[in-house]
Amino acid sequence: MTALLVTLLCLAAIVVLGCGKRRLAPISAGLLRLPQPRRRPGKRGRDSADELPMFVRQVASLLRSGRTPAQMWADILRVYGPEEFAPEASRNPPEAEQADRPGEGLPALLLPGMRSAGQAAELGLSVGFALRQANVPGVGTRSPAAVMARRMWQDMAACWDAAEQTGAPLAVLLENYAGHLQHTLDGAAARRTALAGPRATTTLLTWLPIFGLGLGIAMGADPLGILLGTPAGWAILAVGLGLLAAGRLWSQRLVSRAADG
């Protein structure tokens, strides 16, 4: 009986892990480095959001080197913009460089804002206003990277306005903001890691009643006959399902509130 119980518990664990949304990496992933597929330029996700501080630091570095805002936006467009903005020698980089090039999903998020700010700088208009009005693709779909990019443009516009009104060095403001943005992203990643355990526990507790029914049947009892064949069983089943649904909703709400920070 003990061996049967251990076997059923192992099968239950395998089912839970198989039903999860995450796929476990193969054990040999650390021993054999497989080539990663190239991401499409339009792909957006958390990896794109993690590269936003690097973009802000690049903008600050270009300004610190003595470039005017119009020159800076033109240079940054050559880095993140489409091929017509890139130099002839870098339009078709080798395959190895393409695989290692960071930010494949970043240009699709930043290109409209960079173009608006560049045009405003060339015409002598307010760059801060252009950044606030910048269109970020994917904001309507609540993409995490798009929402973070939209917030970044708003914060960069505030830095730009503060530099124009107070005379503070814009490069220093942007570098400080890049550090703040990096801390924000690191905190979000830490929350996701900390909440992985509660999410897995919620999933396990949801499946436990079903495993209990299977275990009862395997031990020779008739839990389904008691639950479905008697009035008391129907009452117990209804109360159990209600408590199960309430517990899952409550757990999901707590996890969501913790994830939102």
Q: Supply the pTM of this predicted model.
A: 0.60
pLDDT of residue 230: 85
* 23-65 per-position pLDDT tens digit: 433 333 332 233 333 444 434 445 577 889 999 999 999 999 9
73 part of a folded domain: yes
Number of structural domains (the chain) is 1
| Residue 219 domain flag | no
Q: What is the pLDDT of residues 174-209, one digit of tens each?
A: 999 999 999 988 888 888 888 888 888 888 888 888
> Do 213 and 204 contact (CB within 8 A), yes or no?
no
Per the domain annotation, does 209 fall within a domain? no
Domain assignment present for 257: no
Give the Cα separation of 80 and 97 in Å (integer). Answer: 15
**pLDDT at position 183, please?**
92
Tokens of 223: 């839990």
Helix (H, G, I), strand (E, B) or coil at 24: coil
Residue 74's domain comprises 46-91+101-191
In-domain check, residue 229: no
Q: Taking phi first (over 0 means left), then psi (-120 to 50 degrees means alpha), and beta for anything else, what does residue 182 get?
A: alpha
> What pLDDT is recorded for position 12?
52
The verdict on residue 157 lying in a domain is yes
Burial class (CB in 10 A: 0-12, 13-18, 19+), 167: exposed
Residue 35 lies in a domain: no
Q: How confident is the model at residue 248 (pLDDT cuts 50, 70, 90)?
A: confident
- Residue 5's pLDDT is 43
pLDDT at site 155: 93
Residue 52 maps to a domain:
yes
Q: Using alpha carbons, list the distances in angstroms from residue 11 to 8, 27, 96, 201.
A: 5, 20, 43, 17
